[in-house]
Structure 1
């Protein structure tokens, strides 16, 4: 069983339900393995900008930050790590990219979980591997490939 702790640190209520987050977490962590715990903190732009500056030395908010948990030697915990997601920014991005908000939330959450699992997108080959996994998990959820241009109708 994958455990999810959602921390709401925003007055904005435009975010998915705990059940939706749980479904996305379970989709990525479906392989039999040890139980995992993930903390998802939903924040506004100000907190996200502070965290982005503190941990990435970049100004302004970003859509998601991932903080993998590293247990001290000799300590075994099931905590995979923390995701911090900027609620207003995800809503704005979905609108700008003409995506259903739920689909964009699923994509960003899956992206963050993959970071917690050690995937990255700094090098092109790593990016291709990570994108392929995102597409695979989104497909399981019946969500279109977010990296394809939407066809005009």
Structure 2
């Protein structure tokens, strides 16, 4: 069920890598948009870019100083607070997902890869809104919000270890 602000949320999707094999060939742009839109209560403009490991590694190295491809990177744009009546987005961000890393992590963690992808999109969207996980309290707040959003899509708690093998 979409939230009230979902029509105020614009989600552009860029496939810089082809996911033409299972599991991600089953995921269409409308599904990705639903996951992202569920995260926002305010007017927002988000771009989700799905990249190969080379681009993911380059971005992680350039912006975080870490020389490996990671699952998700979020680049929030600092927006001036011009008030709700301005008509401008409250949140703008680019979110980069590396499906190869997502698929590998899902296998290692015995998770459904599509559920893991949904979780990382939600995770990135929450980062775009200022959620962080630097302290235990911050992590708990962010994780609880992720669990709540994923539950709407019948996706189980990603922080519970799966016994699937």
TM-score (norm: length of structure 1): 0.88
Considering only aligned residues, what root-mean-square deviation do their CA atoms show, in Å?
Answer: 2.1
C-alpha distance in structure 1 between counterparts of 2:128 and 2:113, whole Å: 23
C-alpha distance in structure 2 between counterparts of 1:54 and 1:25, whole Å: 25
Mind listing any 5+ residue stretches in structure 2 that lack a counterpart? 1-6
C-alpha distance in structure 1 between counterparts of 2:164 and 2:114, whole Å: 21
Counterpart selection for 1:135 from 133, 147, 152: 147
Q: Which piece of structure 1 moves more, 20-29 or 52-61? A: 20-29
8 A Cα contact 1:12 1:88, kept in partner: no
1:20 equivalent in structure 2? 31
In the alignment, structure 1 residue 67 sits paired with structure 2 residue 79: no
1:7 equivalent in structure 2? 14
Mind listing any 5+ residue stretches in structure 1 that lack a counterpart? none
User: What do residues 87-142 of structure 1 show as CA deviations (whole Å, max 9, x unaligned)?
Assistant: 11111111221211211011000000000000000111101111111111111111
In the alignment, structure 1 residue 85 sits paired with structure 2 residue 97: yes
C-alpha distance in structure 2 between counterparts of 1:124 and 1:70, whole Å: 25
C-alpha distance in structure 2 between counterparts of 1:8 and 1:94, whole Å: 20
Shift in Å, 1:11 = 3.2
C-alpha distance in structure 2 between counterparts of 1:129 and 1:91, whole Å: 26
C-alpha distance in structure 2 between counterparts of 1:24 and 1:128, whole Å: 20
The total of aligned residue pairs comes to 150
Tell me, what secondary structure is at the counterpart of 1:28? Answer: coil
TM-score (norm: length of structure 2): 0.82
1:114 equivalent in structure 2? 126
C-alpha distance in structure 1 between counterparts of 2:64 and 2:87, whole Å: 28
